[in-house]
Amino acid sequence: MKFEKSAGVVIFRKNREIKYLLLLYGLGHWGFVKGNIEKGEEELETVRREAEEEAGIKDLKFVEGFRESISFFYRRGGELIKKFVTYYLAETKTKRIRLSYEHKDYKWLTYEEALKFLKFENVKNVLEKANEFLKNEKRKTKEKTRKISK
């Protein structure tokens, strides 16, 4: 069995509400920006490179403290491969996406909408944890502001 290591990112934009970027992969499922870690690359370098290659995004602002890993098996050419993916969370101001050849479409979706598009439970769980993390960060910011203004 072969092993692969990838890094990915849950990308979001904030306007009136938080919207998450989903990409439609060639195999027909929706997911996040991700790719194999190349020799000599750190995870965040991979994420930055993949965001630019797959979606044309260059302005990622990472949310400190979020790092979520999943693993799964898949087959390529009859060979079983175990893949490990570590996801980060990042904000962008970029609205218009420039897709790579690897993807057919993209969507900016609310949390509830995005859950309906995601097929795999482990990827849904990553989105759930990212969304919860952002809610908690928002609460912490409000609490800090309240303490300062007293």
Model confidence at 140: pLDDT above 80: no
Q: How far is CA 83 from CA 5, 109, 112, 129, in A?
A: 6, 26, 27, 20
Query: Mind listing the pLDDT tens digit for each residue in 47-88?
Result: 999 999 999 999 999 999 999 999 999 998 999 999 999 999
Query: Mind listing the pLDDT tens digit for each residue in 25-50?
Result: 988 999 999 999 999 999 999 999 99
Q: Rg (Cα) of the chain, in Å, rounded?
A: 16
CA angle 110, 87, 79 (to 5 degrees): 115
Q: Residue 48's pLDDT is what?
A: 98
Q: Residue 142's pLDDT is what?
A: 55
Q: How far is CA 126 from CA 8, 41, 104, 146, 149, in A?
A: 11, 23, 22, 30, 35
Model confidence at 141: pLDDT above 90: no
The percentage of residues in the chain with a pLDDT greater than 90, rounded to a whole number, is: 84
Q: Residue 143's pLDDT is what?
A: 55
Burial class (CB in 10 A: 0-12, 13-18, 19+), 102: middle
28: left (phi over 0), alpha (psi -120 to 50) or beta: left
The CATH number assigned to the domain with range 2-149 reads 3.90.79.10
Model confidence at 145: pLDDT above 50: no
